[in-house]
C-alpha cells in the first residue's frame, strides 16, 4: 500500500515537473519512454489515477445508484433528481459523466502494458505479474461501465478496445450485445488470474495490487451481470467463486468475525482493511489528496462545522426496514435520530442537544439528511479527536482517509455463488442455505435461511448496503424488480427533538421523501452515454430513448 501511494505521489509530481510527454503515451503504440522497470512501475501507478479522482471514486456512479430504493440524494440537487426520476439527459452535469473517459483511458493504459511489457528486457516473473495487472485493469475498467450503458437488446454493448485494435478500427459500431463485453471481461479475468500472484505472495508495500482472488471475484461479478440475459453464465459465477473458496493456508478467505457481538461493525475499520474478508479495495491516506473520497459523502452534511462531510447519499426507510430485527448490520450501517456516534472526539447524539466538552458549549447535533437518517457504515476514520490530518484529510473538500474503499469482499463471493445456485438448482438448495447462513451468522441472526430468491435478494441488500461498486440499482434491474419497487414512494423518518441538553430524541413517524417514479424497462435499464463520449466519433450511438 505504501509503495502504491508513494509512486502515485511521484507520478503527480512528475507530471507537474514536465514529465507529461513520457506519461502521455500514444494509445496502443509502444511508449518510447519505457526503458526500465522503474518506468513500468510508473505505468502501473498510472492505472490507479482514477482512485484519487472525485468523480470516479467519490461520487461518480453513486449518483446513478440514487435511483435505487436504498439511497436518495441527501441535498437539493436538480441534476441528481433528474437522474433519480429517470429524466437524465446525455448533458447531465453530475460527476458520472466523466467516468466513461476515465475508464477508456485506463483501458488504453492497460493495453499499452499488455502489448509493450512482454517486449522489454525484464525479469520473467515481473513481466508475468505486470501483464496480469494490465488484463485485470482492462477488465475492471470495462466492468465499471458495461452494466450502466450496455444491454442485450436495442442498444448492444459498449466499444471493445484491445491491444490488437488498430487506430482505424477504434471508432467502430457498438457490439451487438453487452454479452460481448462480459465475455471479454471474463476472459481478461481468467487470464489475469493465471498470471497474477496470490495475495500472500505480495509484499506488504504492494498491498492494493491485484492478485488471483481479486481477478476471479470480478470475473464472477461480470458473469453474474451477464446471467440476466443467459442463465448459463451462472455456471461461470460458480467456477470463479469456487476458485476463491478453495484457497487454503494464508490465502484462505473468510468472513471477518472476532467473536464479538458486533463483528460487522468492526469490519469497517482501517485495521481490517486487509482482513480475511479482503478481496480488493481502493486505498488512501489521511494526510494528502490520495485515495478515495467516498466515505464522508454519505454522512450528515457539513460535519457540524468540525470537518466537512458532504451528505450527498442518504439511506431510505425502505433500507432500514429491509433489516430483520436483531440484525447487527442495521445499526452498523444506518444512524437514526436518538442514536450515538463518535465524531472527531465528540459523542454525538444524532438529532439531539448535548454539552460538547471540547468546545465547552451546548451543541445541537442537527439532522440535514432528507430522510432523517444518515450512513454510519464508513465513519470509523472520523472517530478520534486527533483524526484530522491523521486518518482524515484536513481539507474537507477532499476527504481522502485511511479506511479502504472496498469494492469486492468475500461476503459478495458467497452471495454471488448462493444466487447462482438458487437460480440454477432451485430454491432451498442445500449449499445455498449454508452460504446464506454464514452471512446470517456474522450478522448475529438465526441460521435459518431457506435460500429462496427473495431471501437471497434481501441478504444481498442488507449485506452490501451503501457500498461503492456492488449496485442495488443494477441488482433490482437485472432481477426484473425495478418497475414494482420504483412505483412506491421513497420514505424517511420524522423525529421529536428536545431543546435541552440530553433530552431524549425519538423517531416519531414516517414521511414521504420522493413520490413514486415511472421506470420504463425498455429505456431506463441503462443510462444515457455522456455527451462528451461522442467527441470525434462517427459510429458510437446513443442509447435508445435518450
pLDDT in tens, 317-328: 999 999 999 999
Does residue 5 register a pLDDT over 70? no
pLDDT at 19: 30
Q: Which helix (H) or strand (E) holds 299?
A: none
Confidence band, pLDDT 50/70/90 cuts, at residue 397: confident
List of long-range contacts for 337-340, beta carbons under 8 Å, 24+ apart: 337/367, 337/372, 337/373, 337/493, 337/495, 337/497, 337/505, 337/506, 337/507, 338/495, 338/504, 338/505, 338/506, 338/507
Among 109, 134, 257, which residue's Cα sits nearest to residue 189? 134
Q: DSSP for 454-510?
A: HHHHHHHHHHHTT-SSS-HHHHHHHTT-HHHHHTSPEEEEEEE--SSTT---EEEEE
Among 397, 47, 377, which residue's Cα sits nearest to residue 209? 47
Arithmetic mean of pLDDT, 48-70:
92
Among 459, 443, 460, 466, which residue's Cα sits nearest to residue 333? 466
d(CA 275, CA 78): 40
Arithmetic mean of pLDDT, 418-430:
98
d(CA 11, CA 44): 10
3-class SS at 374? Answer: strand
Confidence band, pLDDT 50/70/90 cuts, at residue 7: very low
C-alpha cell at 122: 525484464
Sign, Cα dihedral of 290, 134, 410, 249: negative
Does residue 123 register a pLDDT over 50? yes
pLDDT at 60: 86
pLDDT at 61: 87
pLDDT at 348: 97
Among 474, 437, 469, 478, which residue's Cα sits nearest to residue 456? 437
| CB-based contact 435:269 (threshold 8 Å) | no
pLDDT top residue among 266 and 59: 266
pLDDT at 2: 55
Among 288, 286, 287, 146, which residue's Cα sits nearest to residue 225? 146
Residues 6+ apart with CB under 8 A from 455: 436, 449
pLDDT at 399: 87
pTM of the model: 0.94
Asked if the 2-230+523-534 domain carries CATH number 1.25.40.390, the reply is yes
Quick: pLDDT tens for 158-174: 999 999 999 999 999 99
pLDDT at 307: 95
Quick: pLDDT tens for 431-477: 999 999 999 999 999 999 999 999 999 999 999 999 988 999 999 99
Q: How many CA atoms lie less than 13 Å away from 135 in the CB half-sphere?
A: 26
Arithmetic mean of pLDDT, 374-400:
95
Residues 6+ apart with CB under 8 A from 157: 146, 150, 174, 175, 176, 177, 178, 179, 180, 181
Does residue 11 register a pLDDT over 50? no
Quick: pLDDT tens for 473-516: 999 999 999 999 999 999 999 999 888 999 999 999 999 999 99
Does residue 28 register a pLDDT over 70? no
Q: Are β-strands 506-514 and 490-496 bridged in parallel, bridged antiparallel, or unpaired?
A: antiparallel
Quick: pLDDT tens for 332-365: 999 999 999 999 999 999 999 999 999 999 999 9
The structural domains of the chain, with segments of one domain joined by +, span 2-230+523-534, 253-282+406-464, 295-403+487-514
Place of cell 468472513: 255
pLDDT at 4: 55
Mean confidence (pLDDT) of the chain: 93
Confidence band, pLDDT 50/70/90 cuts, at residue 27: very low
List of long-range contacts for 197-206, beta carbons under 8 Å, 24+ apart: 197/129, 198/247, 198/250, 198/251, 199/250, 199/251, 199/278, 200/249, 200/250, 200/251, 204/1, 204/2, 205/1, 205/2, 205/3, 206/1, 206/3, 206/4
**Plot region of 428 (φ>0 → left; ψ -120 to 50 → alpha; else → beta):** left
Amino acid at each position: 500500500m505504501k509503495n502504491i501511494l508513494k509512486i502515485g505521489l511521484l507520478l503527480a509530481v512528475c507530471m507537474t515537473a514536465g514529465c507529461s510527454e513520457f506519461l502521455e503515451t500514444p494509445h496502443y503504440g509502444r511508449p518510447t519512454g519505457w526503458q526500465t522497470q522503474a518506468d513500468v512501475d510508473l505505468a502501473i501507478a498510472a492505472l490507479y489515477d482514477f482512485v484519487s479522482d472525485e468523480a470516479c471514486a467519490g461520487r461518480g456512479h453513486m449518483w446513478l445508484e440514487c435511483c435505487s430504493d436504498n439511497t436518495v440524494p441527501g441535498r437539493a440537487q436538480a441534476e441528481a433528481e433528474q437522474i433519480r426520476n429517470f429524466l437524465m439527459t446525455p448533458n447531465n452535469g453530475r460527476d458520472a459523466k466523466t467516468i466513461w473517459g476515465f475508464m477508456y483511458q485506463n483501458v488504453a493504459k492497460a493495453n499499452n502494458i499488455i502489448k509493450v511489457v512482454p517486449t522489454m528486457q525484464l525479469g520473467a516473473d515481473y513481466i508475468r505479474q505486470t501483464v496480469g495487472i494490465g488484463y485485470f485493469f482492462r477488465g475492471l475498467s470495462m466492468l465499471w461501465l458495461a452494466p450502466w450503458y450496455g444491454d442485450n437488446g436495442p442498444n448492444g454493448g459498449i466499444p471493445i478496445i484491445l491491444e490488437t485494435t488498430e487506430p482505424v478500427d477504434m471508432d467502430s459500431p457498438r457490439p451487438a450485445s453487452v454479452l460481448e463485453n462480459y465475455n471479454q471481461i471474463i476472459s481478461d479475468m481468467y487470464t489475469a488470474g493465471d498470471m497474477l500472484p496470490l495475495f500472500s505472495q505480495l509484499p506488504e508495500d504492494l498491498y492494493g495490487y491485484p492478485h488471483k482472488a481479486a481477478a476471479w471475484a470480478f470475473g464472477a461479478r461480470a458473469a453474474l451481470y451477464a446471467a440476466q440475459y443467459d442463465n448459463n453464465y451462472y455456471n461461470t459465477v460458480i467456477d470463479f467463486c469456487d476458485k476463491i473458496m478453495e484457497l487454503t493456508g494464508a490465502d484462505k478467505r473468510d468472513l471477518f468475525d472476532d467473536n464479538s457481538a458486533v463483528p460487522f461493525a468492526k469490519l469497517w475499520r482501517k485495521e481490517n482493511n486487509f482482513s480475511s474478508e479482503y478481496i480488493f479495495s481502493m486505498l488512501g491516506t489521511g494526510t494528502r489528496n490520495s485515495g478515495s473520497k467516498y466515505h464522508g459523502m454519505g454522512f450528515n452534511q457539513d460535519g457540524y462545522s468540525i470537518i466537512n462531510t458532504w451528505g450527498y447519499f442518504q439511506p431510505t426507510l425502505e433500507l432500514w426496514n429491509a433489516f430483520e430485527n436483531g440484525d447487527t448490520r442495521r445499526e452498523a450501517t444506518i444512524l437514526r435520530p436518538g442514536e450515538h456516534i463518535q465524531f472527531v472526539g465528540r459523542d454525538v447524539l444524532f438529532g439531539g442537544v448535548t454539552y460538547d466538552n471540547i468546545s465547552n458549549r451546548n451543541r445541537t447535533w442537527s439532522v440535514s439528511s432528507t430522510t432523517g437518517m444518515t450512513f454510519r457504515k464508513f465513519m470509523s476514520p472520523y472517530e478520534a479527536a486527533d483524526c484530522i490530518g491523521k486518518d482524515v484529510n484536513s481539507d474537507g473538500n477532499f476527504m481522502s482517509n485511511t479506511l479502504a474503499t472496498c469494492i469486492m469482499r468475500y461476503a459478495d463471493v458467497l452471495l454471488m455463488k448462493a444466487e447462482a445456485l438458487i437460480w440454477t438448482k432451485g430454491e432451498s438448495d442445500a449449499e445455498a442455505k449454508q452460504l446464506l447462513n454464514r452471512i446470517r451468522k456474522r450478522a448475529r441472526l438465526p441460521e435459518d435461511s431457506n435460500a429462496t430468491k427473495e431471501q437471497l435478494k434481501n441478504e444481498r441488500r442488507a449485506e452490501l448496503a451503501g457500498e461503492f461498486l456492488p449496485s442495488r440499482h443494477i441488482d433490482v434491474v437485472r432481477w426484473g424488480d425495478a418497475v414494482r419497487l420504483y412505483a412506491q414512494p421513497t420514505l424517511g423518518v420524522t423525529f421529536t427533538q428536545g431543546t435541552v441538553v440530553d433530552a431524549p430524541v425519538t423517531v416519531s413517524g414516517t414521511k414521504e421523501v420522493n413520490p413514486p417514479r415511472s421506470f420504463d424497462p425498455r429505456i431506463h435499464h441503462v443510462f444515457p452515454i455522456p455527451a462528451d463520449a461522442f467527441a470525434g466519433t462517427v459510429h458510437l450511438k446513443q442509447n435508445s430513448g435518450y
